[in-house]
Amino acid sequence: MNIKITDDFNLQKIADSGQCFRVKVFSDGMYRFITGENVLYIKQTENGFYEISCSEDQWQDLWHAYFHLDRSYQEIRRKIPDTDSYMKQAADSGLGLRILRQEPWEMMITFIISQQRTIPSIKKAVEGIAQSFGDAVKTDYETVHLFPSPAQMCRITSKDLDQFRLGYRTSYILDAIDKVYGGRLDLDKISVYDDMALFHALKSVRGVGDKVANCIALFSYGRTSLAPVDTWIKKVIDQEYQGQTPFPGYGDVAGIMQQYMFYYAQQHKGRYQ
């Protein structure tokens, strides 16, 4: 079926935004997104119009929220103050980005893996885990593996994970499996926590520090007031804001500003070496 999206929406920028690591782009311009047991194929057909592989009901019930389409990013960009010329530039560069509402378990493992790794290496490890331990689903385009659940990973050993070259992150993943599968951390239950309570609950997993907890909260629980600070964001803050973070001034859209900033830094790496 076909849908119309009138707000900021750019599939390639979303794919390149550093928040999702299993997006696939096909030669015909089709993009694949996965969340939980659901696979979506989406392709722009003309300005503002998209061909999608799911039903209208599933689009409204699942994917509309996944792409955060209940929030006007056009309006958010218009509210960036003129005094923050850098953020205006970053938002213009990142026009079309969206904060995705992804599956919390996958985001926990993904961002544990992400520590001190490049985006290509993160993608390779996450895809490898899915192919090794997740269920296979056949679609019109391909056979794709879903990300494995805690139950599917409960018997995984450090030896099983050696093939992905995770190093010290292996023990963190095993601790996450133990806490979530064992019931000491209920990823559904904590979804109703306020931002700080959610942040601290996520940090109960070994190896989940401030940055990783903020990433999980932002990219799976939709906590757009939280802005993860990695090495790239720190470089931007030091160089463009004299070391003073601008995020508190953006309130409940700070995480969206962080994505614009991160995307801009990735597109202008030479500026921040």
Report the pLDDT value the prediction gives residue 272, as an integer from 0 to 100.
79
| DSSP 8-state class, residue 164 | G
Please report the DSSP string for 112-159 in residue order.
Answer: HHTTT--HHHHHHHHHHHHHHHSPEEE-SS-EEEPPPPHHHHTT--HH
CA 10 to chain centroid? 15
> Which backbone phi and psi does 43 adopt, to 5 degrees?
-145, 135
Mean pLDDT of the residues in the chain: 96
Q: How would residue 232 be classed by pLDDT, with cut points 50, 70 and 90?
A: very high
Q: How many Cα atoms within 13 Å fall on the side-chain side of residue 40?
A: 25
Q: pLDDT by residue (tens digit) across 95-140?
A: 999 999 999 999 999 999 999 888 999 999 999 999 999 999 999 9
Residue 246 amino acid letter: P
pLDDT value at residue 21: 95
pLDDT at 246 over 90: yes
| CB contact at 8 A, 123 and 36 | no
Query: Whole-angstrom Cα distance, residue 88 to residue 245?
Result: 15
Residue 137 has φ and ψ, to the nearest 5°, of -125, 125
Residue 41 β-bridge partners: 32
Residue 116's pLDDT is 85
**All residues at 6 or more sequence positions from 239 whose CB lies less than 8 Å from its CB, including other chains:** 271, 272
Reading the block at residue 200, the tokens are 């601290």
Domains and CATH numbers, the chain: 2-93 (3.30.310.260), 104-221 (1.10.340.30)
Cβ proximity of 148 and 133 under 8 Å: yes
pLDDT in tens, 40-92: 999 999 989 999 999 999 999 999 999 999 999 999 999 999 999 999 999 99
Helix axes 195-202, 210-221, angle to 10 degrees: 120
Tell me how far apart the alpha carbons of residues 33 and 109 are, in angstroms, rounded to a whole number.
Answer: 17
Residue 261 near residue 233, CB atoms below 8 Å: yes
Which residues does residue 138 pair with via DSSP β-bridges, in sequence order? 143
Is residue 202 a contact partner of residue 101, using CB atoms and an 8 Å limit?
Answer: no
**In this structure, what token pair is assigned to residue 71?**
């929030």
